Amino acid sequence: MDFNVKRLAADAGTFLSRAVQFTEEKFGQAEKTELDAHLENLLVRAENTKQWTERIMKQTEVLLQPNPNVRLEEFLYEKLEKKAPTRMNNHELLGQTMIESGGEFGPGTAYGNALIKCGETEKQIGGAERELIQSSAINFLTPFRNFLEGDFKTILKERKLLQVKRLDLDAAKTRLKKARMADARAAAEQELRMTQSEFDRQAEITRLLLEGVSSTHAHHLRCLNDFVEAQTTYYAQCYQYMVDLQKQLGSFPSSFSNNNQSSVSGGASISVPTIPVSASLPSVSAGSSTASGGFNELRSSNGSRKARVLYDYDAASSSELSLLADEVITVSSVPGMDSDWLMGERGTQKGKVPITYLELLN
């Protein structure tokens, strides 16, 4: 009983000592042992890795499942360790609707048959999408989540312990400075040696864990390759499905006679062309040249224009302006500024913004 009481008293004294040291540091009344530059850089890199891993995971989940309600439901099922109910995705729902409507119009009619074939293809694409989501979850999202919930939590735990050991060390240094009697100084010096040893040991443990983030980056790189491969397979499958469908539709009769067509066109045939995939891709050169012309006109006029922000942008320095997607800002040209940048203004805030993130408004 006496031992427990003494231990509780010692723990309370240690806690109070740390609290006093922390408070005095905040008010500039006590010195603080700084970590070496290498360890500080490792801590910054680990924190950046954690933040960007979270953002990449979030946006990947949005890409794979755009519906926030479904994402929330899947998250709850995962936390409850239960299997989420299987539901058809959008491609499969569209495919099912097309097949049912084709059956209603009649598989023997050209339109009904075409709807059924389109519906079957949409369901194939839906199946390919399921495979993409499953592969991405296993080979990409799960390793990222394991880092956040495993390795990084361990790093946080050891970093907090390092902070505790540093407070103990600095408190011991303060007590040594205040010691006047010989026996008090001897006890303070012994305590300082012990706390310095514990701090150094904890700093080494933390450093080793932080250096392991390099291995995490290498692992995540392999996961990224797997994710790209899964997407490549998915888009290749979709392309092949649509090419095959296009060929099937191209073999259908090219003219359909009904009362409406006869009254409008006098029995003229309506051609159903087979459009090459390459021809169906929109050309961006016209839009690019128009946008480029708008920016050139702005530079030559030395005036200002309103512009809509296309994507989020985080400023890399104090001379730049951070942007949020879909907001409208005022932009102007500054003599001598790089052609890829404009000066942006939002209220009282002002800074450089990249033109690739902007769309000029009329």
Structure tokens at 140: 């990409």
Instruction: Confirm if 166 and 129 have CB atoms less than 8 A apart.
Output: no
Q: Give residue-wise pLDDT tens across range 149-173.
A: 999 999 999 999 999 999 899 888 8
Instruction: Confirm if 97 and 243 have CB atoms less than 8 A apart.
Output: no
Q: How far apart are CA 33 and CA 356, in angstroms?
A: 45
Determine the pLDDT at residue 179: 85
Q: Give residue-wise pLDDT tens across range 215-256.
A: 999 999 999 999 999 999 999 999 999 999 999 888 765 444
Q: How far apart are CA 59 and CA 257, in angstroms?
A: 50
- The amino acid that residue 127 corresponds to is G
Domain ranges of the chain: 31-251, 295-360
Q: Give residue-wise pLDDT tens across range 299-337.
A: 777 788 999 998 888 888 889 999 998 899 999 988 888
Q: How confident is the model at residue 83 (pLDDT cuts 50, 70, 90)?
A: confident
Alpha-carbon distance values, 32 to 26, 27, 65, 167 (Å): 10, 12, 48, 8
Superfamily of domain 31-251: Arfaptin homology (AH) domain/BAR domain (1.20.1270.60)
CATH fold group of domain 295-360: SH3 type barrels. (2.30.30)
DSSP 273: -
Q: Token match 């090419």: residue?
A: 243
Least confident of 69-78, 145-154, 298-307, 348-357: 69-78
Q: Which residues contact 302 (CB under 8 A, 6 or more apart)?
A: 332, 333, 335
Q: Give residue-wise pLDDT tens across range 202-216.
A: 999 999 999 999 999
Average confidence score pLDDT of the chain: 82
Q: How confident is the model at residue 281 (pLDDT cuts 50, 70, 90)?
A: very low
